[in-house]
Chains A and B, each alone.
Chain A
């Protein structure tokens, strides 16, 4: 993810960049491996895994919203499809029988179980299929109409899940979902998504998507088949959202339709916006910052003593602070952390240079 723009003379060359990226990944893997072995803290490991799931989910949304410039708010719906598919395909048959108390689960799902990866991919494919059906009408709409229509379809998916008792267990939700979302799986999928998105967006296909984002009419006159490109991007985005939803189901152990309200879409959107719409490294870093930040800000809900000032804890303060930070970022740093750019080693090099030269030169670009 971090070595695309290494043409600049200031920074290290391409070979060094690749080496540095590899080193960073190795370091990361080592760290995760050590954490898994050494840290018995459930909470830390849980949040660590959630970061990776959010990377996948944010990159999925970034593809359609950031790289293609189509403002879709249907993410939660696709996640729901993936989550339910993964859950239904991995829960052991005996548990299913215990769970579907109101109406039995339809055949052949009641006895069918697949290995976790197969279930994840099935969930992703079903989400992509849903995206195809939704995209047929919606992708013909313009900007904000498309946003509200996709939001509508996401809600429709949720309401259908709520009412389809024999398939989804309706309001009862699903539980006893095997805890397959291990560090290896969550980070493995996140890494795959990063690599896939990096290759995709630098391919000719990715450049066509960016052309659509920057100027639809110009792109069309250059011979880019608009609808096909939009549709494929929409379906790919939904596929990864479905996979992310499946991971979330395995992560949580229990799911219900109420998890997949519009708020879920907004939460992922916030990660994408903070990182920069159209920046892969931005989304990755932002997924870590937002996920950990939200948990870290929990102290705001508890009692706080600063000097002589003391409060007994204001429940919900954390979310206000978080929302305010977000608003500040949107209004004053409208492009997020990285805008449409990527983090590069030469960029890091420059920042270091700037830091070193800060005393002497002050601001210099």
Chain B
């Protein structure tokens, strides 16, 4: 038995040695801080696609090749903290990520302590950028929640049934800001609030109860597209034919897959629209995306946003003109103003949040989302 242990230890040691043959040359190391496995793995995968395409199209920064150092946070806050430290110790110049505000916040103290600038494309929780080293190129939840509420009011919905994932900071926050805005319109009421958790798959009882109040609209606030897909499918199965709205997490391949035909007509708010090649950058992104992932695939908003995040960091490093002075890179990043990305112009405010419009999209019968309208902040 002891011998077996020794053999095992030896084999493992041999494996490490074999893998440690890493080569050291001059590169710009960018940390990819994403959940590759675990509950939000799908989000991590969407974002990674964006980074990968951006690097394919723009492989160098300051003339040096870009090297990605990937750290999997396993969708877990403690692992995320260690993964962040791993990135810092690998000597990354800057960090991109994470999908999921909670995970970004777990990385924040590590990046702050080490002084490594970090940029998230999609973490919408206001607390993410409260530190001194984190910035984002998306809007924050108070804005999105308010706009969703206004959208419901403008469409004449009087009775709203809310479903929220009470395990997810994002989902709870969005509902809070939605409710705050709805309170300003006395003739609009929230008839029910159904609470569920991320792993729930059975919404039939909650839906049956909510539908008794005959709501005009269902507002789904979810962490994962999977929850939204299941709610939408089960609502339609129960005979609900009215409108369904939700936030940016609905734009997830899993939502379309799980809801199937039931997704048709669903409206969600998001960061940008892949169907409007307003600039050449978006067009070249789409060409690369289709070449890599298939003609029929449409990129989700987070993928485009992460493409832009890479470009924003690239721009900041090139503006700072250094890969050594991280404080200079951070300052250049926070000063980003009028930067043209694929998904629109990026300008950061004094709390390092982007000021950008919210886009409303509606899912069509062929399950592709179509632009409805855009609201400037």
CB-based contact A256/B77 at 8 Å: yes
- As a 0/1 sequence over residues 1 to 41 of chain B, the CB contacts with chain A under 8 angstroms (1 = contact) are 10011001000000110111100000000000000110000
A113 within 8 A of B: no
| Residues 282 to 317 of chain A near chain B (Cβ within 8 Å) | 295-296, 298-307, 315-316
CB-based contact A256/B19 at 8 Å: no
User: Nearest Cβ distance between residue B297 and chain A, in whole angstroms?
Assistant: 21
A200 within 8 A of B: no
Tell me the complex Cα distance, A176–B166, Å: 22
CB-based contact B127/A99 at 8 Å: yes
B76 within 8 A of A: yes
A171 within 8 A of B: yes
User: Nearest Cβ distance between residue A119 and chain B, in whole angstroms?
Assistant: 17
Query: Are A305 and B172 also in contact (CB < 8 A) when A46-B81, A252-B81, A255-B77 are?
Result: no
Tell me the complex Cα distance, A307–B165, Å: 48
CB-based contact B85/A43 at 8 Å: yes
- As a 0/1 sequence over residues 15 to 54 of chain A, the CB contacts with chain B under 8 angstroms (1 = contact) are 0000000000000000000000000011110110010000
Tell me the complex Cα distance, A251–B197, Å: 27
Name the A residues within 8 Å of B15 (CB-CB). 299-300, 304, 306
Tell me the complex Cα distance, A325–B12, Å: 11
CB-based contact B37/A306 at 8 Å: no
Question: Among the listed stretches B103-111, B154-162, B238-246, B361-369, which one makes contact with chain A, having 4 or more residues with CB under 8 Å of it?
Answer: B103-111
CB-based contact B166/A43 at 8 Å: no
A101 within 8 A of B: yes
B102 within 8 A of A: yes
| Residues 37 to 83 of chain A near chain B (Cβ within 8 Å) | 41-44, 46-47, 50
CB-based contact A42/B88 at 8 Å: yes
Q: Which residue of B lies closest to A50 (CB)?
A: B82
Task: Give the contacting residue for A163; candidates B78, B82, B127, B166; CB below 8 A.
Answer: B166
CB-based contact A298/B86 at 8 Å: yes
CB-based contact A305/B18 at 8 Å: yes
CB-based contact B114/A252 at 8 Å: no
Tell me the complex Cα distance, A173–B108, Å: 14
A102 within 8 A of B: yes
A216 within 8 A of B: no
User: Nearest Cβ distance between residue B74 and chain A, in whole angstroms?
Assistant: 8
CB-based contact B85/A46 at 8 Å: yes
Query: Are A171 and B77 also in contact (CB < 8 A) when A42-B113, A253-B109 are?
Result: no
Name the B residues within 8 Å of A257 (CB-CB). 167
A175 within 8 A of B: yes
Name the B residues within 8 Å of A42 (CB-CB). 85, 88-89, 110, 113-114
Name the B residues within 8 Å of A254 (CB-CB). 77, 81, 102, 105-106, 108-109
B126 within 8 A of A: yes
CB-based contact B106/A252 at 8 Å: yes
| Residues 224 to 257 of chain A near chain B (Cβ within 8 Å) | 248, 251-257
CB-based contact A175/B173 at 8 Å: no
User: Nearest Cβ distance between residue A298 and chain B, in whole angstroms?
Assistant: 7
Query: Are A175 and B105 also in contact (CB < 8 A) when A42-B88, A299-B16, A333-B1 are?
Result: yes
Query: Are A172 and B110 also in contact (CB < 8 A) when A257-B167, A306-B15, A316-B37 are?
Result: no
Tell me the complex Cα distance, A102–B172, Å: 9
Name the B residues within 8 Å of A306 (CB-CB). 15, 18
CB-based contact A315/B166 at 8 Å: no
User: Nearest Cβ distance between residue A335 and chain B, in whole angstroms?
Assistant: 11
Task: Give the contacting residue for B176; candidates A50, A102, A300, A315; CB below 8 A.
Answer: A102
CB-based contact A171/B166 at 8 Å: yes
A162 within 8 A of B: yes
Name the A residues within 8 Å of B86 (CB-CB). 43, 295, 298
Task: Give the contacting residue for B81; candidates A253, A301, A307, A325; CB below 8 A.
Answer: A253
Bin the interface of chain B by size. Answer: 35 or more
Query: Are A315 and B106 also in contact (CB < 8 A) when A296-B16, A298-B86 are?
Result: no
Q: Which residue of B lies closest to A175 (CB)?
A: B105
Tell me the complex Cα distance, A298–B102, Å: 22
| Residues 250 to 268 of chain A near chain B (Cβ within 8 Å) | 251-259
A170 within 8 A of B: yes
Task: Give the contacting residue for B77; candidates A41, A162, A172, A252; CB below 8 A.
Answer: A252
CB-based contact A259/B78 at 8 Å: yes
B130 within 8 A of A: yes
Name the A residues within 8 Å of B165 (CB-CB). 171
Most buried by A among B20, B86, B127: B127
B171 within 8 A of A: yes
B331 within 8 A of A: no
Name the A residues within 8 Å of B21 (CB-CB). 305
CB-based contact B81/A101 at 8 Å: no
A222 within 8 A of B: no
A179 within 8 A of B: yes
Q: Which residue of B lies closest to A293 (CB)?
A: B12
CB-based contact A102/B173 at 8 Å: yes
Task: Give the contacting residue for A101; candidates B82, B113, B126, B171; CB below 8 A.
Answer: B126
CB-based contact B16/A301 at 8 Å: no
Besides A258-B76, A303-B19, 15 other A-B contacts (C-beta < 8 A)? A43-B88, A98-B130, A170-B172, A173-B105, A175-B127, A176-B109, A251-B81, A252-B106, A254-B77, A254-B105, A258-B102, A301-B72, A304-B19, A305-B18, A315-B36
Binding site for B on A (CB under 8 A): 41-44, 46-47, 50, 98-99, 101-102, 162-163, 170-173, 175-176, 179, 248, 251-259, 295-296, 298-307, 315-316, 325, 332-333
Q: Report the 3 A-B pairs with minimum CB-CB distance, sorted nearest first.
A: A253-B109, A43-B89, A43-B85
23 example contacts (A-B, Cβ-Cβ < 8 A) are as follows A42-B88, A42-B110, A43-B88, A46-B81, A46-B110, A50-B82, A102-B176, A171-B169, A171-B172, A176-B109, A179-B113, A252-B81, A253-B109, A253-B110, A255-B77, A258-B102, A259-B76, A259-B78, A295-B86, A304-B15, A304-B19, A315-B72, A332-B4
